[in-house]
Amino acid sequence: MLVERGIRTFDPGTRSTLDIAAVPEIQRISHLPVVIAPGAASGRADLIVPLALAGRAAGADGLIVEVHPRPAEALIEGARHLDEMGYLALMDALGVPRLRDEIDRIDRDLVHLLARRLRNSVEIGLMKADTGLPLRSPDREAELLGEVRTEASAAGIDPDHVERMFLAILDHSRAEQRRAVDEAEQRRPVVG
């Protein structure tokens, strides 16, 4: 991680000058996330919100913001600390509620995608049962797990975590396939 904490300039109004242009420039030449520390750069709590918003607009991957319940009593540089209300105002200004709403939409989409995946999996199970094929395909499962691990790595997500999620999805799919096949067999007319 690279942290932009400001550069020394001749401006006496702030401790340092936060180099917003450095954020996209460093991201262009580095694979590392770039975070900004607006309080460290300015040395002033009243500049944290506008500098944080500027950093976000420039594409910063994160922020380092000091928060203290009573900034005047902070052991180190209380002037650059936000109190709880200042922190909550910053989160609101940064769009935490908007981002939470987006997460909620993504979660709903994930549920619908999982339902669609499950319906397809059950349909495949019924087709296999009709043709006498085994429901479980260990080679196909291994291939799928390899693919999702690769996708997870490419997306910057822990592949072990993604594999565990997909193992749970596969386990549920197999159980639903078995249930659907059993129900279909019970509905078949008895010949004889």
Tens of pLDDT, residues 84-123: 999 998 988 888 767 877 888 899 999 999 999 999 999 9
Query: What's the rounded Cα separation, in Å, for the pair 50 and 38?
Result: 9
Q: Strand, coil or helix: what is 191? A: coil
Q: Which of 74, 94, 114 is the last residue of a domain?
A: 94
Q: Tell the burial category of 100 from Cβ atoms under 10 Å away from its Cβ (0-12, 13-18, 19+).
A: exposed
Inter-residue contact 60 to 35 (CB < 8 Å): yes
pLDDT at 10: 67
**Do both 44 and 119 map to the same domain?**
no
**Do both 12 and 89 map to the same domain?**
yes
**Do both 71 and 109 map to the same domain?**
no
- Assess if residue 82 is contained within a domain: yes
**Do both 90 and 116 map to the same domain?**
no
Q: Which domain holds residue 57?
A: 2-94
**Do both 15 and 84 map to the same domain?**
yes
**Do both 107 and 179 map to the same domain?**
yes
Per-residue pLDDT of the chain (192 residues; tens, 9 = 90+): 566 656 566 666 666 678 888 888 988 898 888 888 888 777 788 888 988 988 888 888 888 888 898 888 888 777 788 889 999 989 888 887 678 778 888 999 999 999 999 999 999 999 999 999 999 999 999 999 999 999 999 999 999 999 999 999 999 999 999 999 999 999 887 776
Residue in the block written with tokens 């080679």: 139
Q: Which of 94, 121, 141 is the last residue of a domain?
A: 94
Angle at CA of residue 99, ends 93 and 100, nearest 5° = 115
Q: Which of 94, 119, 149 is the last residue of a domain?
A: 94
**Do both 73 and 124 map to the same domain?**
no
**Do both 26 and 88 map to the same domain?**
yes
pLDDT at 19: 82
- Assess if residue 192 is contained within a domain: no
**Do both 7 and 20 map to the same domain?**
yes
**Do both 43 and 83 map to the same domain?**
yes
Query: What's the rounded Cα separation, in Å, for the pair 16 and 7?
Result: 5
**Do both 67 and 116 map to the same domain?**
no
Question: What is the total count of domains within the chain?
Answer: 2
Query: What's the rounded Cα separation, in Å, for the pair 132 and 46?
Result: 71
Say how many residues make up the chain: 192
CA torsion through residues 11, 17, 22, 23, sign: negative
pLDDT at 46: 86
Distance set, CA 162 to CA 12, 36, 121 (Å): 50, 30, 19
Whole-structure pTM value: 0.54
